[in-house]
Amino acid sequence: MQALTAKEISKLLGVTVRASRKRALKEGWKYSLATGRGGKIKHYPVNRLPEDIRLLYNKEIVCNLPEASTNRLPMAAPEKTPVPAMTEKQKAVFSAKTDLLLQYIRTLAAAGHGNKAVARDNFILAYNSGLIFEEIHAIVGPVSWKTIEGWKRTIRAGGDLSDRRGRWRRGKSIVTAQQATIILQISLHPNKRLISEIIRKAKNRMAELGIDNGHSPDTYRRWLMDFKAHNYDIWCFQRHGKKYWNDNCCYSIERNPELINVGDILVADGHKLNFQILNPWTGKIERMQLITFFDMRSNMPCGWEIAPTENTVAISVALRRAILMLGKIPRVVYLDNGKAFKAKYFQGTGLDTDLEQAGLSGIYSNLGIQTIFAWAYHGQSKTVERFFGVMAEMERDAPTYTGTSIANKPPRLMRGEKLHRKVYEKVVAGKCLTMEMAHCMVANWMDEYARRPQERSKYLKGWAPIDLFEPGRGKGVDPMELTALMWTRKDALVRASRISHMGRYYYHENLYGRHHKVEIYYDIQDPGYIAVYEDGEFVCIAHEQETTHPAARQLGTEEDNLQLERQIAIKRHQYKLASGLSKMLLEKEVLPAHQQQLERDGVTPAGPLQIDRESAPKQLTAADEKRIEREAAEYFESHEEKPVNVFAELDQLDEPDRYEQLVRLEARQVVIPKKWLAFMRYFEQTPTYRSLEENDYWEQVRKKEAVMAEAM
Q: Clarify whether residues 143 and 12 are in a common domain.
A: yes
The alpha carbon torsion through 608, 612, 615, 616 (nearest 10 deg) reads 50
Q: Clarify whether residues 242 and 271 are in a common domain.
A: no
> How far apart are alpha carbons 634 and 505 in whole angstroms?
49
* 186 in any annotated domain: yes
Look at residue 68 and tell me whether its pLDDT is greater than 50: no
> How far apart are alpha carbons 317 and 258 in whole angstroms?
29
Q: Clarify whether residues 33 and 140 are in a common domain.
A: yes
For 98, other C-beta atoms within 10 Å of its C-beta total 24
Of residues 226 and 52, more confidently modeled: 226
* 144 in any annotated domain: yes
Contact 94, 61 (CB under 8 A): no
Query: Nearest-5° angle of CA 582, CA 587, CA 589?
Result: 85
* 11 in any annotated domain: yes
Q: Clarify whether residues 205 and 232 are in a common domain.
A: yes
Contact 479, 273 (CB under 8 A): no
CATH label of the domain that carries residue 349: 3.30.420.10
pLDDT of residue 353: 36
Backbone CA torsion sign across 260, 262, 264, 269: positive
pLDDT mean over 100-127: 89
**Environment class of 309 (CB within 10 Å of its CB; exposed 0-12, middle 13-18, buried 19+):** exposed
Look at residue 218 and tell me whether its pLDDT is greater than 90: yes
Q: According to the 3-state scheme, what is the secondary structure of 542-554? A: EEECCCCCCCHHH
- With bands split at pLDDT 50, 70 and 90, how would you rate the model's confidence at 689? confident
Q: Clarify whether residues 298 and 233 are in a common domain.
A: no
Taking all residues of the chain, what is their mean pLDDT, rounded to a whole number? 81
Q: Clarify whether residues 124 and 152 are in a common domain.
A: yes
Look at residue 351 and tell me whether its pLDDT is greater than 50: no
**Environment class of 636 (CB within 10 Å of its CB; exposed 0-12, middle 13-18, buried 19+):** exposed
Look at residue 116 and tell me whether its pLDDT is greater than 60: yes
Look at 185-194, 447-456, 693-702 and tell me which has the smallest mean pLDDT. Answer: 693-702
Bridging pattern class, strands 265-278 and 332-335: parallel
Of residues 616 and 165, more confidently modeled: 165
Say what percent of the chain tops pLDDT 70.
83
pLDDT mean over 445-467: 92
pLDDT mean over 683-699: 79
Q: What is the DSSP string of 215-248?
A: S-HHHHHHHHHHHHHH-HHHHHHHHH-HHHHHHH
For 40, other C-beta atoms within 10 Å of its C-beta total 8
Backbone CA torsion sign across 500, 501, 505, 507: negative
* DSSP code, position 46: G
> How far apart are alpha carbons 302 and 320 in whole angstroms?
10
> How far apart are alpha carbons 303 and 325 in whole angstroms?
7
> How far apart are alpha carbons 58 and 51 in whole angstroms?
10
Q: Clarify whether residues 201 and 229 are in a common domain.
A: yes
Look at residue 657 and tell me whether its pLDDT is greater than 70: yes
**Per-residue b or e along 589-622, where b marks 16 or more CB atoms closer than 10 Å to that residue's CB:** eeeeeeeeeeeeeeeeeeeeeeeeeeeeeeeeee
DSSP H helix total and E strand total for the chain: 28, 16
Look at 296-300, 512-516, 694-698, 701-705 and tell me which has the smallest mean pLDDT. Answer: 694-698
> How far apart are alpha carbons 93 and 138 in whole angstroms?
10
H or E element at residue 52: helix 51-63
pLDDT of residue 659: 87
> How far apart are alpha carbons 214 and 203 in whole angstroms?
9
Q: Clarify whether residues 224 and 320 are in a common domain.
A: no
Look at residue 617 and tell me whether its pLDDT is greater than 60: no
Q: Which residues share a beta bridge with 538? A: 533
Q: Clarify whether residues 291 and 381 are in a common domain.
A: yes
Cβ neighbors of 709 (< 8 A, separation 6 or more) are 667, 668, 669
Highest-scoring range by mean pLDDT, 166-175, 356-365, 670-679? 670-679
* DSSP code, position 590: I
> How far apart are alpha carbons 408 and 392 in whole angstroms?
11
295: domain range?
260-398+433-472
Q: Measuring CA to CA, how many Å separate 346 from each of 321, 335, 362, 392?
A: 16, 11, 4, 29
pLDDT of residue 81: 46
Q: According to the 3-state scheme, what is the secondary structure of 610-645? A: CCCCCCCCCCCCHHHHHHHHHHHHHHHHHCCCCCCC
> How far apart are alpha carbons 293 and 305 in whole angstroms?
9
- Domain end point (choices 221, 248, 275): 248
Look at residue 427 and tell me whether its pLDDT is greater than 70: yes
Query: Identity (one letter) of the amino acid at 360?
Result: L
Contact 485, 491 (CB under 8 A): no
Contact 286, 277 (CB under 8 A): yes
pLDDT of residue 605: 58
Bridging pattern class, strands 300-307 and 285-295: antiparallel
- With bands split at pLDDT 50, 70 and 90, how would you rate the model's confidence at 601? low
Q: Which strands form 39-45's sheet, in the order they lie side by side?
A: 3-4, 39-45, 32-36
pLDDT mean over 267-275: 92
How much is the pTM? 0.55
Q: What is the DSSP string of 394-421?
A: HHTTSTTB--SSSTT--GGGSTT-HHHH
pLDDT mean over 220-235: 94
For residue range 523-560, what is the model confidence (pLDDT) as tens digits? 766 788 888 888 878 888 888 888 888 887 888 888 88
> How far apart are alpha carbons 693 and 698 in whole angstroms?
6
Residues making up the chain, counted from first to last: 712
H or E element at residue 105: helix 88-110
- With bands split at pLDDT 50, 70 and 90, how would you rate the model's confidence at 293? very high
Look at residue 70 and tell me whether its pLDDT is greater than 50: no
* 593 in any annotated domain: no
pLDDT of residue 423: 92
Look at 221-235, 476-490, 569-583 and tell me which has the smallest mean pLDDT. Answer: 569-583
pLDDT of residue 74: 40
Q: Clarify whether residues 346 and 453 are in a common domain.
A: yes
Contact 47, 155 (CB under 8 A): no
> How far apart are alpha carbons 519 and 492 in whole angstroms?
6
Cα-Cα end-to-end distance for the chain: 121
Q: Clarify whether residues 331 and 373 are in a common domain.
A: yes
- Domain end point (choices 248, 268, 283): 248
Look at 18-32, 74-88, 313-327 and tell me which has the smallest mean pLDDT. Answer: 74-88
Helix axes 655-667, 674-683, angle to 10 degrees: 120
- Domain end point (choices 220, 248, 276): 248
pLDDT of residue 581: 57
> How far apart are alpha carbons 605 and 263 in whole angstroms?
86
> How far apart are alpha carbons 381 and 398 in whole angstroms?
29
> How far apart are alpha carbons 151 and 161 in whole angstroms?
7
**Environment class of 702 (CB within 10 Å of its CB; exposed 0-12, middle 13-18, buried 19+):** middle
* 636 in any annotated domain: no
pLDDT of residue 76: 39
**Environment class of 54 (CB within 10 Å of its CB; exposed 0-12, middle 13-18, buried 19+):** buried
For residue range 170-184, what is the model confidence (pLDDT) as tens digits? 667 889 999 999 999
* 364 in any annotated domain: yes
* 617 in any annotated domain: no
> How far apart are alpha carbons 46 and 23 in whole angstroms?
15
> How far apart are alpha carbons 139 and 346 in whole angstroms?
67
Q: Clarify whether residues 108 and 148 are in a common domain.
A: yes
Domains identified in the chain, total number: 5
pLDDT mean over 340-363: 44
> How far apart are alpha carbons 325 and 474 in whole angstroms?
9
* 563 in any annotated domain: no
